[in-house]
A and B are shown apart, each in its own frame.
Chain A
Amino acid sequence: MNSKGVITMLINYLNYCFRQAVISVSRNRWLALVSAGMIAVSLSILGGFLLMAVNTNQVMQNIQSNLEVAVFLDDAADIPVLEKKIEQLDGISSYRFVDKHHGLQEFGRSLGDEALLEELTGERNPLPDLFRVRGVEAGLIPALADQIEQFPGVESVDYGRELAQSITRISGWLNSFSIGISILLAVGAIFLVGTAIRLSVAIRQEEIGIMKHLGASNWFIRLPFLLEGLAIGCTGTLVALATLGLGYYQFAVFLLQKSPVFFLQPVTAPAKLVLIFLSLLLLGIMMGGLGSIFSIRRFLKV
């Protein structure tokens, strides 16, 4: 057979497979719809978690870059020597010296009424001099604080110990939880697609037998079922992507306009979002394919 012959044969064959898949899906459309719906739900949840993860990551970075250690000095401290020591520490992103005079001003501003503290200026200022030290990430802060506390002239250190620890803990926890849930849902969805294909195979058992007698190749018999699974996967994925896209758009617009705090900003970098959506698309199609391959291998004896 020449190559033109092979190509027309292939086109006729694909045309046939496509028609079979359409017939099959429409024959048991309820199960097909339920499986597609299940894929849509699991992908929406997974996608939701992924979007939440990139957003919490960004928020945490915002917070982390603002987490600082307050280093309170005693009156006898040798400030230039201390400054040098702090400067040489690993994991420091920036530091700033605040003398007791400026400290009082900052405190007054944070109270909203600088006049209240007028009594305490000059010699009567009870505040110590201090350094504000920032680490490159939240996880490093406790160690930095411990080190600095040992330096001579340091009265005490203070940092958002609780905050730093809970941020690290919660993000780890959230990540494993979302991955776990998504895997469970994905397995459920794959299983449902498998069931849909299994039903299609059962419905078409007689047809399969006849096609074998007529000399149909194994792939000729299998491909319509694979296409059917892929079609279910695609449908579910598209629904999930549309839902996620709309939902996230609303969420982003809301945050951009009404964010209560500076560090709560949505991720809008197209590269990150496109990557997430593309992986979801791939995953959804793979789930459809996996479900049908599973059933084809198990139930389609050709």
Chain B
Amino acid sequence: MINMVSVSKVYKPGSAPAVSDVNLHIDQGEFIFLVGPSGAGKTTLIKLISREEMPTAGRIFFLDNDTTIYKEPELLRHRRRMGLVFQDFRLLKSKTVYENVALALEVTGRPPREIKERVPAALARVGLAGKEGSFPNELSGGEQQRVGIARAIVREPLVILADEPTGNVDRETAWGLMDLFETINQGGATVIIATHAWDLVDCLKKRVITLEKGQVIGDEQQGSYNHAH
């Protein structure tokens, strides 16, 4: 589903590439951990897939379409097929849980009737039924991230891209969130998670792609976190 061919990203001309000559193939329905030391290029790789950043070299195909030649309309459609989850949740503090999740549907012009059905369903899937009227600062970190995940899945995306989704929560809560990602993955969505949580990675036995200095130095099915780093 995602095909990266000799992809490089150089942010500032002359500086070292953040991602360097990466070739990757990711199938529909996979569960992938992106690991590697700080500055290895994990976030950059995720931004390249979501097309927040353009590669400076190479091609990235999504469902056989070359995303590097997307114009505005294709780019919007591309973004709408992805669900993004962030380390800092990125919820709107002035909006309720319900409104935060509904925003994902509002930006695509979905009718209110559909929004009223899908938002509570998504909140129920992440275990937040009944919290619709709460504001983000009335929730724990783990609950806030669940809202972020509900917003990511409410449009039934093909891919979930999560950049250190457990970075701001405690170990126990992180386990709960990983369970949730697994459930979502079992529902058919491809899940790609950049993380430093080595214990979770080692335990879950998923495909692990290891980056270092922008290059892929390891790619194993049922892999583990490389303790050398």
Measured CB to CB, the closest approach of chain A to B136, in angstroms, equals: 12
Question: Chain A contact residues (Cβ within 8 angstroms of B): what range?
Answer: 10 to 19
| A211 lies within 8 A of chain B by Cβ | yes
Q: Which residues of A contact B108 (CB under 8 A)?
A: 215
Provide the bound-state CA to CA distance between A292 and B197, in Å. Answer: 46
Please state if B103 and A214 are interface contacts (CB–CB under 8 Å). yes
Measured CB to CB, the closest approach of chain A to B51, in angstroms, equals: 10
Provide the bound-state CA to CA distance between A13 and B106, in Å. Answer: 7
Contact with A along B99-126 (1 / 0, CB 8 A): 0000110111111100000000000000
Please state if B107 and A12 are interface contacts (CB–CB under 8 Å). no
Which of B76-84, B166-174, B176-184, B217-225 contacts its partner? Answer: B76-84
Provide the bound-state CA to CA distance between A16 and B77, in Å. Answer: 20
Measured CB to CB, the closest approach of chain B to A61, in angstroms, equals: 57
Question: Who on chain B is nearest to A217 by CB?
Answer: B76
Please state if B112 and A12 are interface contacts (CB–CB under 8 Å). yes
| A162 lies within 8 A of chain B by Cβ | no
Q: Which residues of B contact A215 (CB under 8 A)?
A: 76-80, 107-108
Please state if A210 and B109 are interface contacts (CB–CB under 8 Å). no
B residues 51-86 touching A (CB-CB < 8 Å):
52, 72, 76-80, 84
Residues of B within 8 A of A (CB-CB), count? 21
Q: Which residues of B contact A8 (CB under 8 A)?
A: 111
Interface of A is mostly: helix
A residues 207-232 touching B (CB-CB < 8 Å):
207, 209-218, 220
A residues 1-21 touching B (CB-CB < 8 Å):
8-10, 12-13, 16
Q: Which residues of A contact B107 (CB under 8 A)?
A: 211, 214-217, 220
Measured CB to CB, the closest approach of chain B to A13, in angstroms, equals: 5
Question: Who on chain A is nearest to B79 by CB?
Answer: A215
Residue of A10, A215, A216 with highest tally of chain B CB at under 10 A = A215
B residues 194-226 touching A (CB-CB < 8 Å):
none
Please state if B80 and A9 are interface contacts (CB–CB under 8 Å). no
| A206 lies within 8 A of chain B by Cβ | yes
> A9 is contacted by which of B79, B104, B109 (Cβ under 8 Å)?
B109
Measured CB to CB, the closest approach of chain B to A10, in angstroms, equals: 7
Question: Who on chain B is nearest to A209 by CB?
Answer: B90
> A12 is contacted by which of B78, B104, B110 (Cβ under 8 Å)?
B110
Provide the bound-state CA to CA distance between A12 and B103, in Å. Answer: 12
Q: Which residues of B contact A211 (CB under 8 A)?
A: 103, 107
Measured CB to CB, the closest approach of chain B to A7, in angstroms, equals: 11
Q: Which residues of B contact A9 (CB under 8 A)?
A: 109-111
Measured CB to CB, the closest approach of chain B to A59, in angstroms, equals: 57
| B92 lies within 8 A of chain A by Cβ | yes
Question: Who on chain A is nearest to B110 by CB?
Answer: A12
Measured CB to CB, the closest approach of chain B to A208, in angstroms, equals: 11
Q: Which residues of B contact A206 (CB under 8 A)?
A: 90, 92
Since A9-B111, A216-B107 are in contact, a sample of 9 more A-B pairs with Cβ atoms closer than 8 Å, ordered by chain A residue number, is A16-B106, A206-B90, A206-B92, A210-B90, A213-B50, A213-B84, A214-B107, A215-B77, A215-B78
* 20 A-B pairs whose Cβ atoms sit less than 8 Å apart in the complex: A8-B111, A9-B111, A10-B109, A16-B106, A207-B92, A210-B90, A211-B107, A212-B79, A213-B52, A213-B79, A213-B84, A214-B79, A214-B80, A214-B104, A214-B107, A215-B76, A215-B79, A215-B107, A216-B76, A217-B107
